[in-house]
Amino acid sequence: MTEFIENFAYGISILSMVVISYGSILAILRFIQNEVSRINGKFSFKRLNTIKINFSYYLLLGLDFLIAADVIRTIVENTLQDLAILGASVLIRTILSYFLGREMKEDTSLRKDFESEKTTL
C-alpha cells in the first residue's frame, strides 16, 4: 500500500510538470508570435497581458498538483524531519500560489480598465 501511495504521489508530481511545461511552451510560442508581429506593426500589449494571465493559470494548476502530491506523501512519511521538509515545501508552494493568484487578479483588472478606457476614447 505504501508503494502505491508513493507512486500515486509521484504520478501527480509528473502531471504537474506536464501541465507547467505545456503552459510554458504555449506561452513561449504566443510570446514569440506577439513579438514577431512588431515587425508588421501589430504588437499588442493587451495580447501580451493575456499571455501572462493564461500562463499564470497553468502555473497555478501545476502548483496545486504539486501541493496535492505533497499532501499525499505525508501519508507515508514517518519521520518528523520528513514531515517538516514536506510542510515547508507545501507552505512555500501555497504562498507562491497565493501571490500568483493575486497578480493574475490584478492583471485581469488592469486589462478590464484598459479596455474600458479604450471604449470611452
Q: pLDDT (tens digit, 9 = 90+) per residue, 62-105? A: 988 988 888 888 887 777 887 788 888 888 888 988 888 888 78
Task: Provide the pLDDT for residue 9.
Answer: 92
Q: Are 86 and 22 in contact (CB under 8 A)?
A: no
Q: Domain coordinates of the chain in residue numbers?
A: 2-120
Q: Which is more confidently placed, 7 or 117?
A: 7
Per-residue model confidence as pLDDT tens digits over 47-69: 888 898 889 889 989 988 988 88
pTM higher than the cut 0.85: no
Give the SS3 label for residue 54. helix
Q: What is the mean pLDDT of residues 29-36?
A: 92
76 in helix, strand or coil? Answer: coil
Is residue 108 over pLDDT 80? no
